[in-house]
Amino acid sequence: MGSLGNFSGKIVKSIGFRLTLFLAAGLALYLVMAAMSIQALLQQTEGLKELSGLHYERALTAAELSRDAEVIAAQTFESILSTNRSVSQEGAVDQDLVDLYRYVRKQLTATNEKEQGYLDEIDLWQKPYFASLEKLAQRMEEERRLMQQEQELLNDLQGFSDQLMENSSASSSNLIGQQIINTCLIALKAEKNGQLHRLERSAERYLEQLSGTPVLAQELRPLITRTFDLRKPLILSHRATLASAREARLYSQRLTTSSYNYFQSLKNTAHLAARDYEASAQRAFMMVGVFSVIFLISILAMVVFIRRRLVERLDHLSDTMSAHVAGDPKAIPTDGEDEISVIGQAFEIFVNARNTAEQRLNQAQEETEQANQQLRKLNRQLLVLSETDPLTGVANRRYFDQKLQDHWQMALNLREPLALVMCDIDRFKAYNDHFGHQAGDECLKKVADTLDEIVHRFPDTLLGRYGGEEFILLQGSSSPEQIHQLAEAMRLAIMEQNLEHPDSDHKIVTLSLGTAIIQPDSHSSIDQLIQLADDALYQAKGAGRNQTITAGSEVRSEASS
């Protein structure tokens, strides 16, 4: 009997028996809790139906109102951005969307003063919003009408161009007429009034050249007039359309904001109702919670020993490892001689090795980044040095030659003239011999700065140092008179500096300049343009220096002694 008692005592004290007893009690509690939970869920189902059917449905309707207002705005602006709106017959406002919006608005009613305030605000912005959309539609219709006229004009210009091309005789009049057509086509794409004004003057100049063929001039005159009379109001119409679009967008934002605020109010009301529902559910489940606590206590009592001796230490070690992985190092538990302590000690060795490797890697990355920054800095400096003359700061000859090639090709494509100015400091060798090379370098810098200041006043102009005391200037879309005036401005600006030069005829530093202008075509080349400007420069030198000579003309200017 004693042995049997001892055996029974061991069974009662054994972990298996206690776990079995706890599991049986927990199962009984679980069954009771499940029965009460089913009853509580049935009660809450009715409350949930009321919550979703009343509050959430109103909130969703308000959200639909806000969405409809935004959809109307989006559809309107999609019409503006459409590439085919010039020929579209549809209005900017979809009436079906407007009717849908108004239908949804009628479904909304206020249950308190706050909600009524939101609805009043929606009604306040609704009328100006739809009015702005109608105004925008009118602007778009006006722009569409102008664009249709523009398309008709394009067809007339193309037809006239075809007539000129069909003419077998490639006379100068036909070429000038084609230039006028091209100018009109470019004007139809102009977006700025200044550019449009320049193109109109260019067309008038071409038309003046047709004085010998009055019939062709009379045919082209109406096309020029139609082009510039149509493009100006089209630009204004486009800007007016954009202004109306901005106004409509402003009202759209205000209307959608009001709708969204109303939706937020209903959503908050629904949230309050949901919290009331939640409180009711909590009360219904209170008894279930009591049984759940008892059930949890029985489970916790079963595992408390295992948790204290094993789980807590493993959790602590796991959290420490996770913190190290996330970049938040913590003290690693290594006390003891069991397996968990051995794992901690091994992890500590790994962490130390990883930290050392990361430090070395970060150091290497910093050194690499510093090297890359230095390399980028050197590359930028190299680019500047490759394009700029190191003494004068203007474009060097290599960069100037590259830009000359680009401008030549552009002028060839646009059938525009290209002008070149070559200038040379008079008796510069004597200046160097008298003052020394260092003073000569300073003289070159002052001359370059003065010329660069003049050049910056003119668009589409590039100044470069061509070699020694020679400078060269490139300008597009210029006439012989204009390029001559620019060269004279450069020459006079140098004289105004009053740089002492005892060996000069004028006792100051002066320039000799040669200008040339060519209309690039298949029979001309860049070398011819440079040679013309260089020949004009040498003519200026031979004629007494301190003067400007334009190649191929009698235009000549020199300073008074």
Q: For the chain, which residues make up each domain, given as ranges?
A: 397-558
Domain 397-558 CATH superfamily: Reverse transcriptase/Diguanylate cyclase domain (3.30.70.270)
Amino acid code (one letter) for 536:
A
Q: Which helix (H) or strand (E) holds 252?
A: helix 214-284
Amino acid code (one letter) for 444:
L
Tokens in use for 136?
A: 């925008």
| pLDDT category of residue 290 using cuts at 50, 70 and 90 | confident
| pLDDT tens per residue across span 320-373 | 777 777 767 767 776 766 666 667 677 777 777 777 877 888 887 887 787 777
Tokens in use for 107?
A: 């479904």
Q: What is the pLDDT of residue 4?
A: 56
For the cut 90, the answer to whether the pLDDT of residue 417 exceeds it is yes
Task: Give the gyration radius of the chain's Cα atoms.
Answer: 44
d(CA 34, CA 41): 10
The phi, psi pair for 235, rounded to 5°, reads -65, -45
Mean pLDDT of 366-387: 70
Q: What is the pLDDT of residue 439?
A: 94
Give the other-Cβ count within 10 Å of 252's Cβ: 21
Q: Which residue has the higher pLDDT, 439 or 351?
A: 439
Q: What is the pLDDT of residue 536?
A: 96
Percent of the chain residues past pLDDT 70, beyond the cut: 71
SS3 465: strand
CA angle (560 as vertex; 558, 561 as ends), nearest 5: 120
| pLDDT tens per residue across span 84-120 | 444 444 455 556 667 767 776 666 777 777 777 877 7
Nearest to 179 by CA among 204, 159, 214: 204
For the cut 80, the answer to whether the pLDDT of residue 129 exceeds it is no
For the cut 90, the answer to whether the pLDDT of residue 401 exceeds it is yes
500, 402 Cβ separation under 8 angstroms: no
CA angle (403 as vertex; 440, 494 as ends), nearest 5: 30
Helix %, strand %, coil % of the chain (to 5): 75, 5, 20
How far CA 380 is from CA of 370, 397, 463, in Å, comes to 15, 19, 21
Percent of the chain residues past pLDDT 90, beyond the cut: 26
Tokens in use for 157?
A: 């210009």
Q: Is 171 left (phi over 0), alpha (psi -120 to 50) or beta?
A: beta
Q: What is the pLDDT of residue 44?
A: 61
For the cut 80, the answer to whether the pLDDT of residue 456 exceeds it is yes
Q: In what order do the strands lie in the sheet with 511-518?
A: 461-467, 470-476, 418-425, 511-518, 547-550, 556-558
Q: What is the pLDDT of residue 261?
A: 76
For the cut 60, the answer to whether the pLDDT of residue 128 exceeds it is yes
Least confident of 45-54, 207-216, 331-340: 45-54
Q: Which residue has the higher pLDDT, 12 or 283?
A: 283
| pLDDT category of residue 75 using cuts at 50, 70 and 90 | low
Q: Which residues contact 402 (CB under 8 A, 6 or more apart)?
A: none
C-alpha count within 13 angstroms, C-beta hemisphere, residue 156: 17
| pLDDT tens per residue across span 512-538 | 999 999 999 989 999 999 999 999 999
Q: What is the pLDDT of residue 311?
A: 67
DSSP readout, 149-164? HHHHHHHHHHHHHHHH
For the cut 80, the answer to whether the pLDDT of residue 316 exceeds it is no
C-alpha count within 13 angstroms, C-beta hemisphere, residue 371: 6
For the cut 90, the answer to whether the pLDDT of residue 265 exceeds it is no
The phi, psi pair for 210, rounded to 5°, reads -95, 20
List residues bridging with 255 in a β-sheet: none
Cα-Cα-Cα-Cα dihedral of 401, 405, 410, 412, to 10°?
A: 130
537, 548 Cβ separation under 8 angstroms: no
284, 46 Cβ separation under 8 angstroms: no
Q: What is the pLDDT of residue 396?
A: 93
DSSP readout, 66-114? HHHHHHHHHHHHHHHH-TTTTT--S-SS-HHHHHHHHHHHHH---SSHH
Q: What is the pLDDT of residue 521?
A: 92
Q: Which helix (H) or strand (E) holds 461?
A: strand 461-467
